[in-house]
Every structure is written in C-alpha cells, then in structure tokens.
Amino acid sequence: MVESIKDNKKAQSDISLKIDRISSHVLKATINITPNLVKTVYTQTIELFKKQIQLSGFKKKETPGEYLEENYKNEINNHLKNFLFKHLVLDFLMQQIRSEKINLANYPRLTDIKISESQESDFFFDISVADPIELKEWKHFVFRPPKRKRYKDLDKQVAIFLKKETTCFKKLKLEEVQESDWVCFDANLLNDKQDKLLDKYKSNFWIKINNKEIKKPFQMSLLGKHVEDSFVTYDFSLKNNFSENTETNQYPFLITIKAITKGNHLSLDSFKTNFKLKSKLDAHKKLIEVFSYRNDISQRKAIIEELFHLLLSKHRFEVPKHFIIRRQEDIMLSLKSLPDYQVYKMQKDFNDQVAMLAEKELKEEIIIDQIGYRENLKADEKDLQHYLYLFNNNRLKEFVYFKPVMEKIEDIDSPMQTSLLAQACLREKTLNHVIYVLTK
C-alpha cells in the first residue's frame, strides 16, 4: 500500500505538493497546480500563437483561438508545460525538499505531466532518498588538516594577488550591471496590456553576463541596470524541454533586478564573510590554500578530501546500486563534452573509475546534506552572492567543491533557476561550516 507522507498546501494555495512513499528509497512527488493558475498561462500562450500564426483572410493577431486550440494543441501544450515547469514547478519542488529536510540523492526525475480538461495540472517526480544517518558528535572529531607548502615565495604570490584583486575590485561599478557580472532577477508574466498576471508566483533566476562577441538581446537589456530597476521584455526565454522545435514563443515579462554580484576580481569583504575571517591577514592565510600545491592537488582540495575521509570513516553506510547507476549516467554526459573523452574511454578501468566517482560523490552529498539539516543551515541571497564570487577567477574557483547540475556554470549564458543554485550553495556553506568548526 502507498504510504501518504505529506499533502503540503501552505501559503501558495494554487500550488501544492503531495509526497507518497513507493519504496524504501523512492518517493513519488506530485505537484498540483490549480486550473485558476494554469488557465492564466494557457490564455497568454494562445495570445502568443496568435502573433506567430496568421491565416489567410484574417489580420495578424486575429487568428481564432478555437482554430489554434484545434490544430496546434500539442505545440500549445508543450509551451504551457515548459512555462509551468521552468517558472513554477521546479523552484517550488526544490524549496519544499529543503524545507522538509528530505534526504535527496540525485536530482528529482520528472516522470509524467497530466493536464485535465479543466486545466488542472499535475507534475510527477521520482525522488531518490537516502537512508537517514545517525550522526555522531562530529564537532568533537580530531581533524588535522594537511599543512601548506613552505615555499618562501607563496606568501609573496598571495600578497601580490590580494593587492591586485582588491585594487581592481574597487574600480568596478558595484551598483551597476556590467559585463561578466551575475544578475539575480524576478520575472513576472504580463499580458499585452502589461498587467501583472502572476505577481504572487513570479519566478527568480540568476544569469551570467558573459563577455562574448555576440550577446543575446536579453543580456544586453540588463547592462547598465541597477538593483530594483524594472523593464518589460519579450526577449527572455528558456529552452523548451518538451518540444524538439528550438524556437520558443517569448512571453512578455516584467523583469526586476534583485541583486548584482560582480563577475570580475576578488571581493575581500565577501571572501571574509563567506569563510568567517576577521582580518586581511586571515584572508591571506586562507588564500594560501589555493596557492599551495602538492602532487598537483591544492591544499584546499587536500583538506576537503581528508575531511570527507574522516566523516565517512566515522559514519559507515552503503549507497543503493540504482543511485550509483543514475549518477554514472550524469557523469558520463558531462565527460562526453570533454575533448579528451575518447582517450579516457579507452582506459581498461574507465567504467570502474566512473562508478567509484559516482559512489564517492553521492556519499559526500548525502552526509553533507544531513549535517546541514541537523545544523539548520539555510542558503539566502547573500550566501548565493558569496558563492558566485568564487567563480571570478581560476584561483578562487579552487575553493568551490559542490556545483549545480551544470558543471561549468560560469560559462552558461542562459538563466539558471535559483533553486538549483541554492542546492549547491547550501552544500558549500555546510562544507565550509564543518571545516571552520573542526579547524578553529
């Protein structure tokens, strides 16, 4: 018999979450969206198709809605599903997973979408869940982090790096969006009269303003803006996951800038806050971790490896095989994009190495998530900004251990859902918290 765990309706009455346990390690999550909310998006989708499709004998934008619903039903539904998924469902699901402290293993997998004749919508997900770990008093573990190299010029290198980065950072326009910056914004669906249609459910994203030769129109429209600036755009669109046709009708949105994180150079204040450092001298000592290398591994990465060795030796647990197979698939997709993939693939133990990496990643994520839940840690907007500052150059990137689904997020020029970014950020915050406690 299916065990109903939760029917979560909370404040957002038009979106609710129900979770059923279907096995010891799998939950079935159903996100329900009421007809009232779905119809609002559906009506706007019809209006978009009217602009795109013109019938003989009708003026532009006057194609009958009934004709479109009859002859473009699949295309309209695909756009509707994509909007609901990208702007409403995904963020809501990930927020609920964190707020309910669900022991997630791998990201939720969308299995089905149903839209009834009344336009009530249900999105179904399989969620792999890890067994709870009986955490020991980890704060009392004896941890001896690897020591730094004692090369005389290391301190000089860090001092030069600090001086150069902080000097350059002071020259940036902190309140204005510039090339390479990270921008957090709300997207609020509008109709042609520019009335806000989903004010209560506006979606939130981050985007990197990449300094490439050819910029997308939406990125260009962000340049020069300030926090709380708003503007209307038809250029904001997200990849359509439910249609092979890459052309996506672009809904009108009211975009409001919520935060700006400079994408070039070291923010000393952010760095100190992120790692709970009190002075510039402390920042200098911390930066040594990514300048001191032994056997091509930075002191920072060596510290993390030793930390997880300690935590996992004190907490023995197994990861179900199907979790590992799922993660292997994700790793393989990432590896296939690398230029050396064929070389790696030729190695005799290639598949075994990928399986070992998958198991390692899962164990580290499982234990760090459960420590984060135990410590009641949260990732807010400021935490996300501190996290993104670490992608500003190759030295600082060495401090980042947990990344979102997209491996090279600094190279992504399309918007990212805040919920996916927050998941990685919370893990990173928890990791830094554990290191801080055990080394202070």
Token duo for residue 133: 């770990």
Q: Report pLDDT for 7.
A: 47
- DSSP letter at 52 equals H
User: Which CATH superfamily, name and number, covers 3-128?
Assistant: Trigger factor ribosome-binding domain (3.30.70.1050)
pLDDT > 60? residue 199? yes
Q: Tell me the CB-side half-sphere exposure of residue 340, using CA atoms within 13 A.
A: 3
Q: What is the 3-state secondary structure (H, E, C) of 62-117?
A: CCCHHHHHHHCHHHHHHHHHHHHHHHHHHHHHHHHHHHCCCCECCCCEEEEEEECC
pLDDT > 90? residue 62? no
SS3 assignment, position 185: strand
CATH 3.30.70 at 182-261, yes or no: no
Q: Report pLDDT for 240.
A: 82
- Choice among 69-78, 165-174, 376-385 with the minimum mean pLDDT: 69-78
Are 364 and 241 in contact by the 8 Å Cβ rule? The answer is no
CA 426 – CA 392 distance, rounded (Å): 19
CA 290 – CA 97 distance, rounded (Å): 33
What are the residue ranges spanned by the domains of the chain? 3-128, 138-172+266-439, 182-261
When the pLDDT of each residue in the chain is averaged and rounded to a whole number, the result is 89
Highest mean pLDDT among 215-219, 405-409, 422-426: 422-426
Q: Report pLDDT for 345.
A: 86
Tens digits of per-residue pLDDT, 129-151? 999 999 999 999 999 999 998 88
pLDDT > 90? residue 408? no
Q: Report pLDDT for 8.
A: 46
Backbone angles phi, psi at 422, to 5 degrees: -65, -35
Highest mean pLDDT among 201-210, 212-221, 223-232: 223-232
